[in-house]
Amino acid sequence: MDSKLKKMVFAKNARLEDALECCLAGGKKVAFCLDDDGILLGLLTEGDILRAFKDGATLDTPAATTMNSDPISVSDSLSFEEAKKLLGNKIQLIPRTDGKGRLTGFIDLTSSEYGFLKIKSKNITILGLGYVGLTMGLVLADTGFQVKGFDINRKLLKTLGNKKKPFFENGIDELIEEHVGNRLRLTDDIASAQADIYVITVGTPVDKRTHQPQMDAIKKASASIGSLLVPENLVILRSTVMVGTTRDVVIPELEKASGLTAGKDFFVAFCPERTAEGRALTELRQLPQIVGGLDEKSVELAARLFNEYTPTVVRTESIEAAELCKLIDNCYRDVRFAFANQVAEIAEKIGVNIHDIINMVNLNYARNSIPKPSPGVAGPCLIKDPYILDKVFQNHGMQASLLMAARAINELGAVSPADKVDAALRQKGKTLENARVCVVGFAFKGAPETSDLRDSTTLMFLEHLKEYTSDIVGYDPVAFREELEELNIGIVDSPEEGFKNADAVFVMNNHPSYKKWNLEELLPKMSHPSVFYDGWHLFGDRNFINHQDVEYMCVGVGNNR
């Protein structure tokens, strides 16, 4: 037994004071109780001792009464890699024993050999300060990390530098105010973005026409990091990518630009972002973080980083497994929504209410949880990730036919309301071509609320609507006015203005404020006759009983009136 270990050992008749001294002497805040033959009887941590004092123990209390008499220990022949599986956020030190149970040493994640625990002292650079990068950077800064945010978009950096939010996100103003310029420093100069840990959060769109994943930003960001990389750095890819991208695209770029070797000189992990816009700042601290690494140390380092602000880390068997986790998450959602959107179509034809039917089917029947239909499926993730996964299938000579069918249903859902309302107007002697139209809800979702217009189904719907009419006004309670103005329609600040003389009103997202509308006051402002299209079943036809010349249409509801 070496001298350091000896200092950490106390006898079974020792007092708490002796055990405390052992904890301090070893510098590990842990002490071991051995019998006269060196057999491990128990373990005491500094925390155990402090808790015992709180519960009334004194320095003279026998240490054996408060120690853990059944500590996890490992055989001294077990490899570190195997033993490490027993270590976690709570257990960072495990005694090693020989075949007779005698203490021979310990495994310690805090040792400089593994260098893991000092994660908090690491500097982090985030590449790409969009929704994912900015929210993560702010949460890291709020957790106490020194973070640099690098982005090629100078306008964005200027907005942030002026402590203005570039998009709506619950709770973001306070974090920007507190951390930007302090623990989160912004830069557009890659040379000044050197760090210990790099996180790539750049966009990974698919081509609008061909649906091919666009890899330029990932490649450029990887090359930028490669130019700064030094041994022992960790690189985390967080953007959503095709399976194989980390290994086949990111690592080669990093190695080429740095001259270093992944797994030997530096570490690489893929840790997907899974938060929902609107709840990102809360979810970042709550959702399990999936971590796939190139090797054990890559996983360990990345897991330690995320464990600093979130309680659950899920380690996958490989980088590719983690990449696939992210894709199937979103594709599954897209398919479920497509199912709801498809059955909504038949309900409309039959003349029944699919919302009621889904409620009945789901009631106390845990095997099912059918979602509700909506005007398509929107947002920068669900709209593209099925194409990214389909590309992975194609790369292996296969087709993701279910995913593509779901996409087709969901994309049709975004445009069909215009055609349906046109047909309804024609029955009233009007047409959508000559109609004044009010569109409500442009952000890609209303709840949780976001200002994000990217890949909003309302924009796809608008494109189609413009083929009918140019007399369109739009209202959204959250989206930024300057972004709405770029849509080349009239923008109004209230539903009252929007409803005025409208031949058709389309409610295209589910912002909770719409439910507070006073329809008794709003509906008479519309033109007569007219059509009200409820894309989210927020209202129900009872609100229209006194307004027979305003036809209530709703996704998934057959109109029997």
Ligand X SMILES: NC(=O)c1ccc[n+]([C@@H]2O[C@H](COP(=O)([O-])OP(=O)(O)OC[C@H]3O[C@@H](n4cnc5c(N)ncnc54)[C@H](O)[C@@H]3O)[C@@H](O)[C@H]2O)c1
Residues forming the site for ligand X (CB under 6 A): 127-133, 150-153, 156, 201-204, 217, 220-221, 224, 239-240, 273, 277, 380-381
Distance CA 449, CA 510 (A): 9
User: Which CB atom, from 24 or from 276, has the smaller least distance to ligand X?
Assistant: 276
User: Which CB atom, from 42 or from 133, has the smaller least distance to ligand X?
Assistant: 133
User: Which CB atom, from 224 or from 341, has the smaller least distance to ligand X?
Assistant: 224
List strand residue ranges (DSSP E) for 143-300, in order: 146-150, 184-187, 197-200, 234-237, 267-270, 289-293
- Which residue is listed with tokens 């993701």? 400
Query: What is residue 415's three-state secondary structure?
Result: helix
User: Which CB atom, from 97 or from 135, has the smaller least distance to ligand X?
Assistant: 135
Distance CA 553, CA 547 (A): 13
Other residues' Cβ atoms within 10 Å of the Cβ of residue 369: 10
Please say whether the beta carbons of 342 and 358 come within 8 A: no
Rounded least distance, CB 412 to ligand X, Å = 23
User: Which CB atom, from 131 or from 387, has the smaller least distance to ligand X?
Assistant: 131
Rounded least distance, CB 175 to ligand X, Å = 16
User: Which CB atom, from 34 or from 242, has the smaller least distance to ligand X?
Assistant: 242
* Residue 383 φ/ψ, nearest 5 degrees: -75, -20
Distance CA 183, CA 297 (A): 27
Residue type at 300? Answer: E
Question: Which of left, alpha, beta for 460 (phi over 0: left; psi -120 to 50: alpha)?
Answer: alpha
The full length of the chain comes to 561
CA atoms within 13 A on the CB side of 492: 18
Query: Closest by alpha carbon to 226, among 262, 202, 201?
Result: 262
Structure tokens at 350: 């039959």
Rounded least distance, CB 513 to ligand X, Å = 22
Rounded least distance, CB 371 to ligand X, Å = 19
Question: Which of left, alpha, beta for 485 (phi over 0: left; psi -120 to 50: alpha)?
Answer: alpha
Distance CA 66, CA 453 (A): 59
User: Which CB atom, from 218 or from 439, has the smaller least distance to ligand X?
Assistant: 218
Rounded least distance, CB 374 to ligand X, Å = 18
- The residue with its CB nearest to ligand X is 130
User: Which CB atom, from 243 or from 531, has the smaller least distance to ligand X?
Assistant: 243
Rounded least distance, CB 278 to ligand X, Å = 9
User: Which CB atom, from 392 or from 418, has the smaller least distance to ligand X?
Assistant: 392
Contacts of 125 (CB under 8 A, 6+ apart): 147, 148, 149, 150, 193, 194, 195, 197, 198, 199, 225
For 4, 40, 113, 114, the CA distances from 76, given in Å and listed in that order, are 17, 13, 17, 18
